[in-house]
Structures are given as structure tokens and as C-alpha cells.
Amino acid sequence: MPATLRYKVHLEAVAQALQIVLGQGARPDKALETTLKTLRRPGARDRRFIAETTYSVIRHWRYLWFLAGTSPSLEKQAIVNLIQFYLDNNARFVKKTPDAEEKNQNLPSAVLYSLPDEAWHIGIEQLDERWLRECAAQHGPAPPHLRCNTLKISPQELIHLLESESIHTQPHPLSPEALVVLDKVHSLFSSQAFQKGLYELQDAGSQAVSHFSDPTPGMRVVDACAGAGGKSLHLAALMQNKGHIIALDVSASKLEELRRRARRAGVHIIETRVIASTKAYKRLQGTADLVLIDAPCTGTGTWRRNPDLKYRLTRSWLQNCLEVQKKVLRTYAPLVKPGGILVYATCSILPAENYLQWEQFLHHHPHFEPLDRRQLWPSEHACDGFFMAKARRNK
């Protein structure tokens, strides 16, 4: 295929992915998976260009339309033109925060940081001036964070091993197992170290939740909203592969991915259960030493990795998340046995989902004694935003 034609195909592929994400509400990874299947034998460079361009345009969507001087559109040719405008002016978008010249344009901050007006106002109402700092901190992409699998290797040994594969890392202060990848690596999933189960990709903030939970070998643990199991795997490593972890989720496909990851990591203490009915968890009531609820939320602490979530933040979606959080707390708190620990976590920075939700739960459940809580901020901790809180069940 001639280079000019290949380039045109690439731009159209990015446009298609953007239509799926911003027009249909799909996640970027799923949109890219669908789009790439329509291409004829795309190479690694093709895939990389399409994926990176898609994420970048999502990240700067509103600001790009403003600079281009055109009204936002989901029409394919209009998006292709916008992508070309972005590529022609790429240098001004590689910065993590706007420079003084851009700020002096007196643009509304919502435009500068590419947020819908409703999302901007929600953040201001929740966090006041802090919202601007957190938007600035999440304006650019995040460096990859790895979690060393200490069941197989120590963090220092992994650092040296990755050097031999030209992957340069350094420790992250939030978790003893966390490593920050220092330079651009095209595929961390294809390294020999990954194939051997020596590390997982996991944000340092997410790793901090597992340490905050403070699991010990031999515990009976329930990971109530396990998903693909990043925290379940970390808990298993902290428990030295001794004890029993029951990973619950409504998605059978995510739990199947967890089982694959567990085999690669050498973890054998995780049992997965699909929540198809109340039977999946009712028999667990009063049996767990530790219950972790990594609750569904707006994901406002993960915009560096998931920029599409900016466009989903509406009052109705926030209210829906709050109702779901109340429900999962009511549902899974009873699984904690007397003397056991309940941990509630979100990847949000909004108080309504975090300490306010937690305080409301404690008010209605006085037999849980609060122990500790912590908020991680992208602007302060160089990680995704996370809230975590724990309490002991007294009776």
C-alpha cells in the first residue's frame, strides 16, 4: 500500500475509533479493538500510531475544536480534519500542563483542559480550587507503573532484569513493589519478564490500596468487586500465597482474565465466583477476615489513563455511582466476620463518592469502628487518584 494511502487509512481508523468512543460511549480499548479488526494486517507501528493518536485526541478533544475554529462534530471527515490539525500542531499538546501563553488566552479552564461544562462545574462544587490543580495534574498521559510479583522475584532483581531488556525503571514511593517506567516502551506485555509472570501493569495508587488493607498470610479474604483481579493478585502476593481469596464480580470474562493472570503469576489461592444471584455471596456472610470493596465510581482519579471518562461525568452518572456504592456497601459489609476488617476504596477524587459516602455508611452501621482513611491525589502523589478507608466489625 502506498504511504499516502496508508496514512489516509490510519486517519480514518482513528476517526472511526473516536466516533465509537465519543458517539457511542464505548471504552477506547474496545473501540480500538473493533477498529483494528477492520484493517488489513496492521503492523505494530500502525497499531501504535492509531492507539496513541486516538487517546491524544480524546484527551484534548474540546480544546482542539476551539483551536481549529470549528464547531465540534462527529461526522467522519470533520474528525479526520481535526486529527490532521492535531498532528500538524502536535508539539503544543505533548506538555502535561498548558504553558503561560495558553493560560493568558483567558480561556475558560473547562476548554483549556477539555472538559464538558457540566463536568467542570461538578468538580468545582466538590473540590473548589483543588479541582483546577487535579485537572492540571491529569492533563497529560501517565507513565506506566509496574507491580513486581514478589512471589517470583524481588523489586531490585526485577529492575536489573528489565535493564537487560532495555526497560528502565525506578521505585515508586507509594508501594514497595511499584516501579515507574522511565522511558517509552512500545509493549510491556511482550517482554520476557512479563511472560514469566514477574510483573503486572498496575498503578502505584492501586497498589497502595492493597497495602492499606494490610492482609496477612492465612487470611480468608473477599475481593467483592474484583474485575480482572489486579488487587486480588497483589493481595495474594502480600499473603505469600497462603490463605484463601474469593474474587467476586458480575463479569465472567473479567474473572476468566483473572484466572489467566493468576496462572501466569503462580498464584493458587484465588477462587473466582460470578455474581449471577445472591447465592454467590450470601453463604459468605460473617466468614471473611477481610472484605475489600473496590467500588464502581466515576473514575475521576484516572483521567490520565482513561481520558474518555471526562466526557461521562454528568450529575446523573455521579448520582448513579453513589447509589451503586451504597448498595455494594450494604451488600458486602455483612460478609465481614466479627473482629474482621472492611476496606472501601474508589479511584475517584470526588468527596461525594469518598469520605462522605464512607461517613454515611458508618452512621447507619455503628457496629463498624472506623480505623483509618486516606486520599491519594494525582497532583501530590504521582499516581492515579484513590480514596481508601477501613473499619473493624465489632459484633
Give catalytic residue positions.
347
Q: Where are the alpha helices (DSSP H) in the chain?
A: 3-18, 24, 28-36, 44-59, 61-68, 76-88, 100-103, 109-112, 117-127, 130-137, 155-164, 192-195, 204-213, 230-238, 252-265, 279-282, 315-332, 355-364, 378-381
Phi (first) and psi of residue 245, to 5 degrees: -115, 125
Beta strand 220-223 with 169-171 is unpaired
User: Which three cell numbers, joined as nine digits, stand for 136?
Assistant: 492540571
> 3-class SS at 377?
coil
* DSSP secondary structure code for residue 20 in this structure: I
Phi (first) and psi of residue 301, to 5 degrees: -90, 0
* DSSP secondary structure code for residue 218 in this structure: T
**Of 267, 250, 256, 214, nearest in space to 332 by CA:** 250
Total length of the chain: 395
The C-alpha atoms of residue 20 and residue 28 are separated, in whole angstroms, by 8
Rg of the chain over Cα atoms, rounded to whole angstroms, equals 22
The C-alpha atoms of residue 144 and residue 89 are separated, in whole angstroms, by 25
Q: What angle do CA 364, 377, 205 make, to 5 degrees?
A: 85
The C-alpha atoms of residue 34 and residue 1 are separated, in whole angstroms, by 22
Q: What angle do CA 116, 59, 112 make, to 5 degrees?
A: 55
Which contiguous run of DSSP H or E holds residue 179?
A: strand 178-181
Amino acid at 287: T
Check: CB of residue 63 under 8 Å from CB of residue 135: no
